[in-house]
């Protein structure tokens, strides 16, 4: 955890946005806005002089766009960056590229509906998570940049699961995933390690409303199975992953012969909507735990830990991501502390393990 006040630099070409963000963070005494910058060139100098712990970064700016600056920053001076983007299709696509390029989180850019109380609290929580994240830090006083980060693997060829292979899964078999800070890239790794021949997958990733569709589209391009944003009434079926929309809880109900997804705007849980606990606990109520493999990935806070414990107590095989590969070791750490995890695994091992568990249960069904 970060020691002392968290020093934040706000980078945005709008003077109004810089002021609104600064004012919204004043009630949080563990956070200090040490400066603002209207473009990346000014930001570069202020990073050097002010040594902020966290950067908030607009994507669309003059002289140099935020995405180009982010990529240069991550190459030469890696640090936690929160991207603030507009809720447009183009803005959402750029935000997904920013997460791929090293940003730890994406938030909605302040607009006419920005609430200094609610949105300021969310930004403060994101800043705390960013400050606690495992972002490669520059070597102090060495004067030489760190090497480039490894490139993500190429997209997995999409191979449709055959009806015969999928039908061998028990109709109640599920894979459940929960993630927060750092989760967009963790989900890419987990889903990318699995074929399309898997049980139905349901995912909760803490993400603002408006960005989840772009995330689902990106994961769909990079995964063998179909990935899309969930819609109310969707049937959970093998070979498909459903991502909870930002701003809506996702609940599973068993309606013979399959699970059906329900979406609602119930109260936030752990200050989150969608919440991982809501999904996990609904699977227990639907009678699916004994046929479920679930994983809790990187993220700040405790969301998902109690739900993972309930799943394990009702027969699910549960996994928590280990500290070494978590961007933020909050949610998995809490799950491990509660005894909720059957396995504690590195990120790259979680996808293969989930697939292995699913095939093993399919084999049990075939021989039982």
What is the location of CATH 3.40.50.2300 in the chain? 6-131
Listed in order, strand segments (DSSP E) in 130-192 are 174-179
Q: Is the per-residue pLDDT at 302 higher than 60?
A: yes
164-367: which CATH topology? Rossmann fold (3.40.50)
What is the location of CATH 3.40.50.180 in the chain? 164-367
Q: Is the per-residue pLDDT at 365 higher than 70?
A: no
Q: Is the per-residue pLDDT at 15 higher than 70?
A: yes
The pair of three-digit structure tokens given for residue 331, joined into one six-digit string: 């949610």
What 3-state class would DSSP assign to 32? strand
What is the reported pLDDT for 360?
A: 86
What is the reported pLDDT for 364?
A: 67
What is the reported pLDDT for 63?
A: 84
What integer is the mean pLDDT of 27-55?
Answer: 97
Compute the Cα dihedral for 118, 122, 125, 131 and give only its sign. negative
Respond yes or no: is residue 180 known to be catalytic: yes
Report the percent of the chain where pLDDT is more than 90: 77
Respond yes or no: is residue 206 known to be catalytic: yes
Tens digits of per-residue pLDDT, 312-347? 999 999 999 999 999 999 999 999 999 999 999 999
Q: Which of 85, 126, 133, 180 is catalytic?
A: 180
Listed in order, strand segments (DSSP E) in 187-334 are 200-205, 226-229, 240-243, 249-255, 258-264, 292-296, 317-321
What is the reported pLDDT for 4?
A: 84
Contact 274, 249 (CB under 8 A): yes
Tens digits of per-residue pLDDT, 181-226? 999 999 999 999 999 999 999 999 999 888 999 999 999 999 999 9
**CA distances for 358 relative to 159, 264, 276, 317, 353, angstroms:** 18, 29, 21, 10, 9
Distance from C-alpha of 244 to C-alpha of 91, rounded to nearest angstrom: 20
Buried b (16+ CB within 10 A) or exposed e, 119-154: bbbbbbbbbbbbbbbbbeeeeeeeeeeeeeeeeeee
What integer is the mean pLDDT of 259-278?
Answer: 97
- The pTM (predicted TM-score) of the whole model is 0.88
Q: Is the per-residue pLDDT at 240 higher than 50?
A: yes
Distance from C-alpha of 244 to C-alpha of 216, rounded to nearest angstrom: 9
The pair of three-digit structure tokens given for residue 314, joined into one six-digit string: 């009702």
Lowest mean pLDDT among 83-87, 239-243, 271-275, 291-295: 83-87
Respond yes or no: is residue 291 known to be catalytic: no
Q: Report which of 146, 10, 143, 132 is spatially closest to residue 78, judged by C-alpha positions.
A: 146
Report the percent of the chain where pLDDT is more than 70: 88
CATH architecture of 6-131: 3-Layer(aba) Sandwich (3.40)
Q: Which of 119, 206, 277, 349 is catalytic?
A: 206
């Amino acid at each position: 955890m970060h020691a002392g006040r968290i020093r934040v630099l706000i980078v945005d070409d709008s003077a109004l946005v810089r002021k609104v963000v600064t004012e919204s963070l004043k009630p949080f005494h563990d956070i200090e806005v040490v400066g603002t910058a209207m473009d990346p060139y000014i930001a570069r100098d202020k990073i050097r002089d002010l040594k902020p712990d966290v950067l908030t970064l607009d994507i669309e700016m003059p002289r140099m766009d935020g995405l180009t600056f982010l990529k240069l920053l991550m190459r030469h001076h890696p640090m936690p960056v929160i991207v603030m983007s507009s809720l447009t299709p183009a803005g959402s696509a750029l935000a997904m590229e920013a997460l791929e390029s090293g940003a730890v989180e994406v938030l909605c850019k302040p607009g006419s509906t920005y609430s200094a109380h609610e949105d300021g609290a969310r930004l403060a929580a994101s800043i705390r998570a960013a400050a606690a994240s495992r972002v490669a830090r520059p070597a102090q006083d060495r004067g030489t940049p760190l090497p480039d980060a490894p490139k993500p693997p190429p997209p997995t060829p999409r191979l449709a699961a055959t009806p015969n292979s999928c039908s061998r899964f028990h109709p109640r078999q599920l894979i459940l995933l929960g993630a927060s800070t750092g989760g967009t890239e963790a989900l890419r790794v987990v889903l990318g390690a699995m074929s399309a021949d898997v049980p139905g997958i349901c995912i909760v990733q803490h993400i603002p409303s408006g960005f989840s569709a772009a995330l689902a589209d990106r994961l769909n391009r990079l995964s063998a199975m179909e990935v899309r944003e969930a819609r109310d009434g969707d049937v959970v079926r093998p070979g498909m992953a459903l991502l909870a929309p930002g701003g809506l809880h996702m609940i599973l109900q068993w309606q013979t012969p399959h699970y059906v997804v329900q979406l609602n705007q119930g109260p936030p849980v752990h200050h989150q909507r969608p919440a991982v606990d809501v999904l996990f606990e609904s699977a227990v109520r639907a009678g699916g735990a004994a046929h479920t493999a679930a994983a809790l990935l990187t993220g700040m806070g405790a969301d998902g830990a109690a739900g993972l414990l309930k799943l394990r107590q009702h027969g699910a095989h549960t996994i928590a991501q280990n500290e070494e590969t978590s961007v933020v070791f909050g949610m998995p750490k809490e799950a491990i502390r509660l005894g909720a995890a059957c396995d504690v695994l590195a990120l790259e091992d979680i996808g293969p393990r989930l697939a292995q568990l699913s095939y093993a249960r399919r084999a049990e069904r075939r021989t039982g």
